[in-house]
Amino acid sequence: MSLLGDYEDGNVFCQIIRHVEPCFKIYEDEATLAFLDIYPQAEGHTLVIPKNVRSRNILDISHEQLGLLTKTVQLVARAVTIGMRSDGVEVQQLNGSAAGQTVFHLHFHVIPRRHGIPVTPHGHAKRASENELRIVSARVRSGLVDVAH
């Protein structure tokens, strides 16, 4: 798929925003939504997306909207690090199919990292069970409480 092009309203993230598809929500405000990736590269892998912006990738979003999005990315990175007790955190943002982007709605991946434990490569992870996602979402959300204090 081309790096530049028209936004497609039918993508899965659009469906999540519209509550057509479910998600394990971590955080939400007026501009952004963070939820667990159902194909996690590591336990606690969270996606952060803009809610009110029709943006395929980082090339077609305003500076103002990108600022709101990265504010949430930072908040979620702190929550993931605390909630998952990780040694580090990886933030990925892929643009275009050549870079590995598979859902063409701008999004950031926030992936907790531990020393000596590799992450599953993007696009190769197995689907997590609802029970796993429920448990992990509670852990990550508990990190949000710690971030707020």
Catalytic residue among 45, 105, 107, 122: 107
Q: For residues 135 and 67, is the Cβ–Cβ distance under 8 A? A: no
> What phi and psi values does residue 36 have, to the nearest 5 degrees?
-70, 140
What is the C-alpha separation between 15 and 18, in angstroms, rounded? Answer: 5
Question: Is 107 annotated as catalytic?
Answer: yes
Report which of 127, 135, 145 is spatially closest to residue 44, judged by C-alpha positions: 135
CB atoms within 10 A of CB 120: 14
> What phi and psi values does residue 97 have, to the nearest 5 degrees?
-65, -30
Name the residues annotated as catalytic.
107
